[in-house]
Amino acid sequence: MDSKFLEINMGPQHPSTHGVLNLKLSLDNEVVVKVEPNLGYLHRGMEKLWENRTYAQVVPFTDRLDYFCAISNNLGYVLAVEKLMGLEIPKRAQYIRVILTEIQRIVNHIGWLGFVTNDAGAYYTINFYTFEEREEYLEIFEEYVGARLTINAIRIGGVPFDIDDKLISMIEKALVETEKKIKDIDKIVTRNRIWLHRTKGVGVFSAEDAVQFGLTGPALRASGVKWDIRKDIPYSSYDEFDFDVPTGTAGDIYDRYLVRVEEIKQSMRIIRQAIKNLPSGEIAAKVPKVLKIPEGEIFHSIEAPKGELGFYIKSNGTDKPERVKMKSPSFINMQSLESMCKGNMLADVVVILGSLDVLLGEIDK
């Protein structure tokens, strides 16, 4: 070999794993020297497809991007369309959107807890714990809109259905169970020797590097940067809710874990406030059946579970967008992988990648 480094391929894996990703690794014995992500295995030409669909027809496509956070994807796109229209959304619809997207955040983070602890070899038991709890929230989605994973739960102008006493009871019961599960997971994982060894001081990313690389979401906040679009650029009445933005100090895998656990608690806090103060009124604004938006362009972003999710939309005055461009947090956050992995062991690569919580459907589009 001409090089003194060993070059190997990690992946691509089968789609039923975290996704289809190929990493080209350069190793000095078992120490990582270079990581080159090779993307595109799940590319479906989503953005081009959207140019040939009406504004309303685009919404179900967003379910298939980050399929773990379908409702958040719905909301990001729909808010951009409504901003381009200058449409005012009823307050009750805004609160229902907050409830649904915060449940979606819990579903994402609690699923992530099971995945990443399994990646680290700490406990497979946690996977059963988290997916048992996740099931309760999927049943809530199923009760509300009839779907569990790729959920089309947001409409241009509002939401498709109101929430009744039965659904509120299901949500409140799920929140109580989640509190118990989080306490159990904390006892099993947080001070576990295997977990600490695999996560403390591993995949460190400083606040300066995080900002320079454009990192967003829990990964950014774990590096000590207190930035959350729900607080800093509020949308859907988030300015009316009282919640904290958890941050870390070390910027390692362990801090990313702690931040996401705390975010689950804060999401529960927001949901309870939204249910308690749920306004009366309509659940949707009046929107024409054939929606033609005057010429113009707009960008709007939200705080999705994985980070900043943004949509750029350009209208040419017809019933179809001329251009839709998505800014996905997984794609942006993937840029930091090489810097996080350099100097760590080969066995740490999977855990570092898992700690970023990227999803290839969102990256490749």
pLDDT (tens digit, 9 = 90+) per residue, 226-241? Answer: 999 999 999 999 999 9
Quick check: 1 pLDDT over 80? no
Interval 7-60: pLDDT, tens: 988 878 754 455 688 899 999 989 999 999 998 888 888 999 999 999 999 999
Better-scored residue on pLDDT, 122 or 53: 53
pLDDT of residue 17: 55
Domain 42-364 listed as CATH 1.10.645.10: yes
Residues 160/144, Cβ–Cβ less than 8 Å: no
Counted residue by residue, the chain has a size of 365
pTM over 0.75: yes
Q: What is the pLDDT of residue 192?
A: 86
pLDDT band at 116 (very low <50, low <70, confident <90, very high): confident
Listed residue (67, 15, 61, 59) closest to 41, CA to CA: 15
Q: pLDDT digit string (tens) for 244-288?
A: 999 999 999 999 999 999 999 999 999 999 999 999 999 999 999
**Given this model, what pLDDT does residue 132 score?**
87
Which among 70, 68, 91 is positioned nearest to 241, based on CA atoms?
91
For position 253, what pLDDT does the model report? 94
Considering only CA atoms, which of 138, 167, 157, 172 is closest in space to residue 70? 138
3-state secondary structure the chain: CCCCCEEEEECCCCCCCCCCCEEEEEEECCEEEEEEEECCCCCCCHHHHHCCCCHHHHHHHHCCCCCCCHHHHHHHHHHHHHHHHCCCCCHHHHHHHHHHHHHHHHHHHHHHHHHHHHHCCCCCHHHHHHHHHHHHHHHHHHHHHCCCCCCCCCECCECCCCCCHHHHHHHHHHHHHHHHHHHHHHHHHHCCHHHHHHHCCCCCCCHHHHHHCCCCCHHHHHCCCCCCHHHHCCCCCHHHCCCCCCCCCCCCHHHHHHHHHHHHHHHHHHHHHHHHCCCCCCCECCCCCCCCCCCEEEEEEEEECCEEEEEEEEECCCCCEEEEEEECHHHHHHCCHHHHHCCCEHHHHHHHHHHHCCCHHHHHC
Q: In what order do the strands lie in the sheet with 307-315?
A: 296-304, 307-315, 321-327
pLDDT per residue as tens digits for the range 282-315: 999 999 989 999 999 999 999 999 999 999 999 9
- Confidence class for position 364, pLDDT limits 50, 70, 90: confident
- Name the residue type at position 105: R
Amino acid 131: pLDDT = 86
Q: With 0-12 CB in 10 A as exposed, 13-18 as middle and 19+ as buried, what is 31?
A: middle
Residues facing residue 22 across a β-bridge: 38
- Tokens 């946690």 sit at which residue? 126
For the cut 90, the answer to whether the pLDDT of residue 110 exceeds it is yes
**pLDDT of res. 194:** 86
Confidence of residue 361 (pLDDT cuts 50, 70, 90): confident
Torsions phi, psi for 47 (to 5 deg): -60, -35
Mean per-residue pLDDT for 334-363? Answer: 91
Q: Where are the domains of the chain?
A: 42-364
Tens of pLDDT, residue by residue over 128-172, are 888 888 999 999 999 999 998 889 999 999 999 999 999 999 999
What tokens were used for 319? 């019933």
Q: Which of 12-16, 101-105, 180-184, 334-338 has the highest mean pLDDT?
A: 101-105
176-200 tens-digit pLDDT: 999 999 998 888 888 888 889 999 9
Q: According to the model, what pLDDT value does residue 3 have?
A: 65
Return d(Cα 275, Cα 55) in angstroms, integer. Answer: 30
Residue 122 has pLDDT above 60, yes or no: yes
